[in-house]
Homo-oligomer: A and B are copies of this chain.
Amino acid sequence: MLSFAQFNVISKKANTIPQFNMAKNFSSRAEDYSQWYNDIVKHAELAENSSVRGSMVIKPYGYALWENMQRELDRMFKETGHENAYFPLFIPKSFFSKEASHVEGFAKECAVVTHYRLKIDENGGGIIVDPDAKLEEELIVRPTSETIIWDTYKRWVKSYRDLPILINQWANVVRWEMRTRLFLRTSEFLWQEGHTAHATEREAIAEAEQMLEVYADFAENFMAIPVIKGTKSPNERFAGALETYCIEALMQDGKALQAGTSHFLGQNFAKAFDVKYLSKENTLEYVWATSWGVSTRLIGAIIMGHSDDNGLVLPPRLAPIQVVIIPIYKNEQQLEEISDEVKEIMKRLRSKGIRVKYDNRDTQKPGFKFAEYEYKGVPVRFGIGPRDLENKTIEVARRDNLTKEMMPMEGIEEKVLLLLDEIQQNLFERASNFRKKNSKNVDTWEEFKIEIEKGGFLYAHWDGSSETEQKIKEETKATIRAIPLDAKEEMGKCIYSGLPSSKRVVFARAY
């Protein structure tokens, strides 16, 4: 386990903040990392387990975070020429048999619809499945939509004029999971899946690479999490892909998290569903495909990428509330005066597009509210009391480094805009420094076995064989997270087999 002290750079000023430590009831990362994560998901009110095994309830605060992520991603998809559409939730069982490697990967652990009616049991057994309402062919709740979408594209594609098709879908998917964790692995989750069809191989590869760039841009500039861009080894590839591109992020416990994938599918699905087009040269050709997706799992990455022992820390660009304003008052009249001033301040903040909340609940004291919003990761907190009204000042606290300072009310909207950018930047730098400190070259098997226990990204030579990769996984639980796109040519020997290798790949234990 890593030392978390290296992660949080808390300035000395932090000690001057009164500690209404709501978070003291919750686990710290060093005590119990897994419980710390669960506590944040639960007590920051992001999500909770439902009565349905493996399915979560995404609570309003968590869903607002997802909506902000969706909005930015959706904008990026549309700016790169994609449109949204919607395809059926159910997929006929036989569709999964059509692409041989796909069925291996996806048709196993899934939810199967076999009947379409319930009835009241005549023998008093309550509601039962009506045995007369059995489906001729079972339907699978989509684990991913390549098959149903390529069955549709077959109807849409006749000529090169119909290409490319650049479509994205926002949807729920189901993959039956035995061991679930909120956001990171649940049976049902929300995601987007892009599915594109192209006339040429080159165009499809360019699309898959473009979407990897979009994901990396989103991860780094919105989630504030640095990622390695790379390809997957054959073992880790998407079932049905010729190449899987990925972005990999490092979490605070030293484990890797796959944050997004973009697949070059070749002509596999076009062949499986017989999708051909008449080319300009009047020949019939199979269509080339890509698919790419990110999911609510990214919320897990945000939590583990930035949060600390005081709770959630959110990057300003995605935070549902960017600024929370808390009035500090002794009586009704003071509250009224503060509220009048706050109304004006909020108007100015909103005119700059800042998401602001005024918490004037009279059921909780300021200290409780301070701790609550700290735990919920709101980037900036304003405290305003009677003296601030006199002095025309605001006490401004930053969630990222827990510092605070007095600022003049005048022009506060401009200051906050800069401050939110600064916090966004600081989170990215902090996470980048952490990753840098926890990435190393490893050249021997002995060293590898020691270093992998410490966590982090290990850059090591690999002989390129699936057998070696499998053995390394069995002995250390480490997998190849990515073959970096920017890997330098460097002759070396495989850490496991000693066979020659021309570049380093990235190993880690992963979520």
Chain A residues at the B interface, C-beta cutoff of 8 Å: 48, 50-52, 55-60, 63-64, 66-67, 83-97, 103, 107-119, 126-127, 129, 138-141, 148, 151-152, 155, 161, 167, 171-172, 174, 176, 188, 190, 363
Residues of chain B with a CB closer than 8 A to A84's CB: 60, 63-64, 67
**Contact in complex: B111, A113 (CB < 8 Å):** yes
**Contact in complex: B167, A88 (CB < 8 Å):** no
> Given A52-B139, A148-B50, A161-B363, are A85 and B114 also a contact pair (CB < 8 Å)?
no
- The copy count of this chain in the complex is 2
> Given A57-B88, A148-B52, A161-B363, are A176 and B116 also a contact pair (CB < 8 Å)?
yes
> Given A52-B90, A55-B90, A89-B188, are A60 and B167 also a contact pair (CB < 8 Å)?
yes
**Contact in complex: A88, B127 (CB < 8 Å):** no
- Quick one: which of B55, B85, B148, B171 contacts A51, CB cutoff 8 A? B148
**Contact in complex: B116, A115 (CB < 8 Å):** no
> Given A60-B84, A188-B89, are A114 and B116 also a contact pair (CB < 8 Å)?
no
Q: How far is the CA of A122 from the CA of B128 in the complex (A)?
A: 31
Q: A134 to chain B: closest CB distance in Å?
A: 10
> Given A84-B63, A119-B108, A139-B111, are A91 and B129 also a contact pair (CB < 8 Å)?
no
Q: How far is the CA of A83 from the CA of B65 in the complex (A)?
A: 12
Q: How far is the CA of A83 from the CA of B96 in the complex (A)?
A: 38
Residues of chain B with a CB closer than 8 A to A107's CB: 118, 127
> Given A48-B155, A155-B48, are A55 and B115 also a contact pair (CB < 8 Å)?
no
**Which 4 pairs of residues, A with B, have the shortest CB-CB distance?**
A55-B88, A60-B83, A58-B86, A112-B115
Q: How far is the CA of A118 from the CA of B139 in the complex (A)?
A: 11
**Contact in complex: A85, B57 (CB < 8 Å):** yes
**Contact in complex: B190, A86 (CB < 8 Å):** yes
Q: How far is the CA of A94 from the CA of B51 in the complex (A)?
A: 11
Q: How far is the CA of A176 from the CA of B130 in the complex (A)?
A: 13
- Quick one: which of B83, B92, B96, B188 contacts A118, CB cutoff 8 A? B96
**Contact in complex: B108, A117 (CB < 8 Å):** yes
Residues of chain B with a CB closer than 8 A to A67's CB: 84
12 contacts between A and B (CB under 8 A): A51-B92, A59-B85, A60-B85, A63-B83, A64-B83, A64-B84, A90-B111, A110-B117, A111-B116, A111-B139, A113-B113, A172-B172
